[in-house]
Structure formats: structure tokens, C-alpha cells
Amino acid sequence: MPLLQVTLTQGRTPEQIENVIAALTDTLVSTLGVKQESVRVVIQEVAKTHFGSAGMSLARRDGKPEGHTENNGEQQ
């Protein structure tokens, strides 16, 4: 039973998340030859204030003010 864990910053729509799950499932089915029903995908969303790269949060890199939180389900 393949299990994929994906971490994304917040801001994707529910439709985009559904599309990611479907695409990843299809990829494992076609490349590993597993049954679609056996594939598990976990999407974890993280606020840009809690996700860092190159020594700073993505919120700071993108110029978001301190304490800024992402809107639920809305892209920034």
C-alpha cells in the first residue's frame, strides 16, 4: 500500500488539492502497477509563516507582514 505525504503552503483551492491527489494516485498506478484503491495520499498544508527556505519564512520572503495568516482556501 503506497502512502504519499505531501507538504504544501496554504492557499490552494479544494479543487486543486483533489487534482493533486488524483494525479499522484494515477502516477503510482501507472508506474508501480498498484491498484488505485491501495494508494493513500496525505496533504498537509502549512502556513507560509511556518515554512522556511534559505534561512527565512516564505511569508517574509514574499513580503507578508509579521503575524499574517493565510486566508482559508484562498490563494494569496
pLDDT of residue 33: 97
Region 6-29: mean pLDDT is 97
Residue 23 grid coordinates: 494525479
Question: What is the spatial distance between Cα 50 and Cα 64, in angstroms, rounded to a whole number?
Answer: 13
Question: What is the spatial distance between Cα 68 and Cα 29, in angstroms, rounded to a whole number?
Answer: 39
- Kindly report, residue by residue over 31-76, the tens digit of the pLDDT: 999 999 999 999 999 999 999 999 999 999 998 765 555 554 444 4
Residue 8 has pLDDT above 70, yes or no: yes
Strands 3-9 and 56-57: unpaired
pTM of the model: 0.75
What is the three-class DSSP state of 18?
Answer: helix
Strands 40-46 and 3-9: parallel
Region 24-30: mean pLDDT is 98
Q: Kindly list the catalytic residues.
A: 2
